[in-house]
Amino acid sequence: MTPAGGARRPTRSTLASESSVGTTHLRRLPALPERCTRPTPADPRTRFDVFWSTFEENYPFFAAKGIDWHAVRARYRPLVGPRTTDAELTRVLTDMIRPLHDAHTALVAGGKAVYSGLRPGTTRGHPRTARPGGRGAGPTLGRFTRPEPITVKPAHAPRYRGPAALLTSGTTISAGETFTQSLMARTPKVTRIGGNTQGVFSDVLFKLLPGDGWAVVLPNEEYLDRHGRTYDGPGIAPDASTPVFTDEELDRHQDSPLNRARQLLGGKGR
């Protein structure tokens, strides 16, 4: 954290994480809002309201995914009352965010991870690529902050300048996707082989909910390419589509994306 405005009582500051390419700008308030001076009730209805509001204020992709978040609230809030059990509330909150199919959403209840989203037709696994690139902007109270340009620059060292292939699939997720995005403008072109990436680029926001051991994880940014396009949701498509880790491929000890890459780069596939 870097303070500004004087060493005695800074009024502004910036906050950055080593794992994030973005920066958060902070401004000191004259005093805490009155509501922040009182403990937040931990009853089920309040927990529901904080959960819903956290997504309402931060989640960027409701419109893109065709989700009316206010209609979701109208449907599920009547199901929660003073006698709602933790198990019942867990089901309600999970049912609310499951249709997002977002691998950067998760729910923690009683200190245990009870739900983690995923795009249909994909599985969790280790990404076949790494990090970062793009341009990010995060929402503030329902609106996006000004886009923050992120430039990917080659290292000042010997580097490979020849043709390259990048193997992608639904297990290419998050950091692996920002790496994939950062290579899209490389010359000569990097050929993507395999399947669509998972479609979750944003760094995740971890927010505590009222009650012991309750929390929610969600994205609160968009990574845009230089044309202003986001690939959240469908992911980045391959240039050459092949089967990836299917049962048939595994039974035959085949790796179609790797074989295609070898052929493309002048080697021999098998």
Total number of domains in the chain: 1
Neighbouring residues of 173: CB distance < 8 A, sequence distance ≥ 6 = 103, 124, 127, 197, 198, 200
Contact 203, 173 (CB under 8 A): no
For residue 139, the enclosing domain spans 135-150+162-202+229-264
Residue 235 included in any domain: yes
Name which of 12-21, 62-71, 74-83, 162-171 the model is least confident about. Answer: 12-21
Q: pLDDT digit string (tens) for 8-29?
A: 678 888 887 776 666 778 889 9
Residue 57 included in any domain: no
Residue 35 included in any domain: no
Residue 142 included in any domain: yes
Return the SS3 of 59. Answer: coil
Contact 52, 95 (CB under 8 A): no
Residue 244 included in any domain: yes
pLDDT at 134 over 70: no
Residue 167 included in any domain: yes
Residue 88 included in any domain: no
Give the CATH number, domain containing residue 193.
3.90.226.10
Q: For residue 140, what pLDDT band results from cuts at 50, 70 and 90?
A: very low
| Strand ranges across the sheet with 164-168 | 164-168, 190-194, 240-241
pTM of the predicted structure, to 2 decimals: 0.80
Residue 63 included in any domain: no
